[in-house]
A = this chain, B = another copy of it.
């Protein structure tokens, strides 16, 4: 029910760090709706400020109203304002890029990130969603979140057969050792280490992660990062609602 709303929301979600602005035809194509429909939806969204028309490029992009909504959400359920100081502290301790992400129904959505100050570092600019199977944060979700939610999430990715078995196996490993590591992302050599953040009731809330160039993954540094992660997780467990 409320198909129009669903369409409109799907349209909103098309906007991302990779495609921050879309034209009418492009939006129509991406959303799989007729141009007339997309036009009507976007114009209505523009009226409210949720979307913005960019005359210079004849495109649409997310509008300032989403910031207002986010501010209200943050005032209702503080998340970023709680997570950010923890990430700052971790960045201080490890010197590396740190981030916190939550499952949003299809991937791990980056909630907040603090970048390393080193010249050779992992950047989070333009990254707003992390895949479930190929990132440390995602693997931590697969290992520690409610099995039903995980099963549902895996089903949606379309992963099946041998790959599905491997993912489950990997989740088991991660669950056993309490953290996940990866040594690459897509085609780049990247070291990633993530731990689960659980609420006071034990429910999975999100993943706290540190990423660095693989050259810095020495045994000593690894232990320092893991220590910082554990500390951060403990803080968040006590400070986050739920």
Which residues of A line the B interface, CB within 8 A?
Answer: 1-2, 4-6, 8-9, 12-13, 15-17, 20-21, 40-41, 43-45, 47-50, 61-77, 79-80, 102, 104-105, 109-111, 125-126, 128
Q: How far is the CA of A79 from the CA of B52 in the complex (A)?
A: 14
- Give, as a whole number of angstroms, the nearest-CB distance from A189 to chain B: 25
Contacting residues, chain B, for A125 (C-beta < 8 A)? 75
- Give, as a whole number of angstroms, the nearest-CB distance from A40 to chain B: 5
Contacting residues, chain B, for A111 (C-beta < 8 A)? 67, 71
Instruction: Provide 23 A-B residue pairs closer than 8 Å at the C-beta atoms, listed in order of the A residue.
Output: A1-B44, A2-B8, A2-B40, A2-B41, A4-B4, A5-B41, A5-B44, A6-B44, A6-B47, A13-B48, A15-B72, A15-B76, A49-B105, A61-B76, A62-B69, A62-B72, A64-B104, A65-B104, A66-B70, A66-B73, A71-B110, A71-B111, A75-B128
Contacting residues, chain B, for A8 (C-beta < 8 A)? 2, 5, 8
In the complex, the 4 A-B pairs of residues with the closest C-beta atoms, listed nearest first: A70-B70, A20-B76, A2-B44, A62-B73
B71/A128 in contact, CB under 8 A = yes
Copies per assembly: 2
Q: How far is the CA of A102 from the CA of B75 in the complex (A)?
A: 18
Between A13, A69, A111, A125, the greatest number of chain B beta carbons within 10 A of the residue's beta carbon is seen for A69
Q: How far is the CA of A44 from the CA of B3 in the complex (A)?
A: 9
With A1-B44, A5-B44, A45-B5 in contact, do A64 and B73 touch (Cβ < 8 Å)? yes
- Give, as a whole number of angstroms, the nearest-CB distance from A240 to chain B: 12
Residue in B closest to A105 when the chains form the complex, CB atoms: B49
Q: How far is the CA of A202 from the CA of B115 in the complex (A)?
A: 34
- Give, as a whole number of angstroms, the nearest-CB distance from A227 to chain B: 28
- Give, as a whole number of angstroms, the nearest-CB distance from A130 to chain B: 12
- Give, as a whole number of angstroms, the nearest-CB distance from A27 to chain B: 15
Q: How far is the CA of A232 from the CA of B131 in the complex (A)?
A: 40
